[in-house]
A and B are shown apart, each in its own frame.
Chain A
């Protein structure tokens, strides 16, 4: 962007072996590339000729391990059941709070229907110390780390128990204790931030990565480009985790990009890429684990693209049947749902039964309803908190404005009762 008034200092890079073309006629040394072979025929590199980057899967849509694959190391009955239980919990939370918004009890909500596999598969594969930078559809990751239903509900009701002090819209969760940076609405802003945090971990020589989630729509933002490029040049221990669910609100991917998804972009930045079946929790777990190991052993970022489907509406402010067929949604729910796939696998293994399933769904629904009722009954944060945390200290103009507000409310108390 900036106009270059001064010549750049040229840094030499280790030359990479150039692929030899049949028409190669020697090679050139340019500061702008590695050793570049010359050819005497025009060579057009057309992405149409490229192979589609394949998606890794361990288990098929009927919950059977695919030929040649096996259960990832570290996956046993206990962990599998635990992941499934979390899926049920997140699903129950999404159902209850989606309805609560429809009833006008909370102002906004976003579900994660269909993406539970990507969330718990990745969350289980990273370490609790790894710093999460989320977009907004990753509540499952926070849930896996121990964020309680009460904590979720407090945020959704922006009550006095909300760690964010009731300042942000619902689903903008965050927890310092759980290394989950607070969500903000502007898309993709967290991507270069994750690189910066990861760089800090690297300088501190901590055995720790940043993991940064984002949707395929957010990947069109300039911050995606900014982030992957600086993460590569500074060799940051960061895992970029794209959730490609087919839609950014109403926009299908054909209007979002024309390349091979998000994964194909990694190579251009010099970043290794893995594409994975996002509805296969085992595959997501395994590739996330592998990516984390690569990041720390090779000292560079990795990009994962999970292929999935957004089963729910974009948010409670959206009716997705206005831009996609109901039959399409039904197809994904019926034939390729991450929860069903895992359930079929577990039943096959004898790790789960229909009875346990019904009982657990019942318990989780009750737990969520209890959390909702408790959170709804609590008041909003105290008035004075409105002027706090703008700065580390309260500035003179904020002190003055707070006094103004208090005098005003003292005059017209009945007019300002309740919250939003």
Chain B
């Protein structure tokens, strides 16, 4: 936490102004899982067709995100599915295909791959292939992603790039409780299928004052967390904490950093990143996922096309290595603040 709560609240409310259905200055202290829970509660209160389901969601979820929802809304609307990800995905698509709101949970993003066919071949193409006769837009897949300290291969992955390669899907990743609530509500109400990746390391660790009641944060818009003049850093989700630390280190060394949280991976906010890089002339993109084929590649190549004459240094990608996510060497594997700080120094001294 590098900023005071007051500053945080003012910033959040400013962000939601104009988009909020009942934006409020009243806030409540929440961590990420309680904020997500609050978003689902609001979604279900405002939309009687909304259902929440997945593996173990009825008793509150293995990460407590759906706690008390079954008690509030009944077991018809909050229920366990059999242990079958392709079934969860297909069921959600069908439910949404008749105009009802499906909020489906995949227990870990690492286990979303059995549902890949349903998400990529079906959900993403549903509207296009039918000539807009049918759609499954009222569908959101929530799933915990990312490093957690000891998750190894199958409780640590960041699969956003696989989905970013699929036209028809939106991919969203929040960085803190306020963002999580506002972006999840926007995702649930967006008329397109959304894959919503939740940084599980922050479920309890990230705590902030979250506006009470109903508000949304628009999809497709990046958030400039800090303004600076020497270099632009872009990231999303849990990586924003790491990048904040790197920026602090750089600023102590006299480098002014502009820090951008992409928030929506597809469709991503090219304009905000482009304007920033035109100003700073330098860009670093950082994500936990492996470097090759990671979403940083898309950002780097797009910005290179648009900002060729403004770039003072090569665009750098500070990412996970091209290995499966390791257990014992997690600390070394991750693109931490120090690795980003090194990249910043390299860029400004280029």
**A residues apposed to B, CB below 8 Å:** 1-3, 5-6, 8-9, 131, 133, 162-165, 167-168, 172, 174-176, 181-182, 184, 186, 189, 191-201, 203-204, 210, 222-223, 225-227, 229-230, 233-234, 388-393, 395-397
Contact = CB atoms under 8 A, between A and B. Distances in A.
B213 interface: no
Contacts of A172: 129
Contact of A199 (B91, B111, B129): B91
Contact of B133 (A9, A133, A175): A175
A226 B121 CA distance: 17
B62 interface: yes
Contact of A182 (B84, B86, B130, B154): B130
Given A195-B87, A199-B94, 17 more contacts: A9-B58, A175-B133, A181-B130, A182-B129, A182-B134, A184-B121, A192-B87, A192-B94, A193-B93, A222-B114, A223-B118, A226-B82, A229-B82, A229-B84, A230-B81, A230-B88, A392-B135
A197 B134 CA distance: 12
Interface stretch (B100-108, B282-290, B342-350): B100-108
B188 to A, nearest CB: 14
Contacts of A226: 82, 84, 86-87, 90
A196 B95 contact: yes
Interface of B: 49, 51, 55-56, 58-59, 62, 76-77, 79, 81-98, 100, 102, 107-108, 111, 114, 117-118, 121-122, 125, 127-135, 137, 154-155, 167-168, 170, 191-192, 220, 267, 270-271
A189 B122 contact: yes
B9 to A, nearest CB: 30
Contacts of B107: 2
A225 B76 CA distance: 22
Contacts of A3: 108, 111, 154-155
A316 B180 CA distance: 51
Contacts of B100: 200, 203-204
A189 B128 CA distance: 17
B79 A234 contact: yes
Contact of A391 (B87, B89, B90, B192): B192
Contact of A186 (B79, B81, B117): B117
Given A175-B133, A226-B87, A390-B127, A184 B122 contact: yes
Contact of A229 (B87, B191, B271): B87
Given A1-B83, A230-B81, A193 B127 contact: no
Contacts of A163: 130-131, 133
A122 to B, nearest CB: 19
A230 B97 contact: no
B169 to A, nearest CB: 9
Nearest to B81: A230
Of A162, A204, A391, chain B has the most CB atoms within 10 Å of the CB of A391
20 contacts: A2-B108, A3-B154, A9-B59, A131-B98, A162-B131, A175-B133, A181-B130, A181-B134, A184-B129, A186-B117, A200-B49, A200-B95, A200-B100, A204-B49, A223-B118, A226-B82, A390-B127, A391-B170, A393-B191, A397-B270
A201 B86 contact: no
Contacts of A225: 84, 87
Given A1-B85, A195-B91, A233-B82, A395 B267 contact: yes
B129 A164 contact: yes
Nearest to B129: A168
Nearest to A391: B192
Contacts of B129: 164, 167-168, 172, 182, 184
Contacts of B191: 392-393
A193 B90 contact: yes
Contacts of B58: 9
A390 to B, nearest CB: 5
A186 B116 CA distance: 12
A168 B85 CA distance: 27
Nearest to A194: B94
Nearest to B154: A3
A191 B62 CA distance: 28
B91 A196 contact: yes
Contact of B114 (A1, A8, A203): A1
Contacts of A198: 94
A381 to B, nearest CB: 9
B134 A230 contact: no
B86 A6 contact: no
A174 B134 contact: yes
A196 B83 contact: no
A204 B59 CA distance: 24
Nearest to B302: A397
Given A197-B95, A200-B95, A390-B128, A176 B133 contact: yes
B97 A1 contact: no
The 5 closest A-B pairs by CB, nearest first: A192-B90, A196-B94, A226-B87, A193-B94, A182-B130
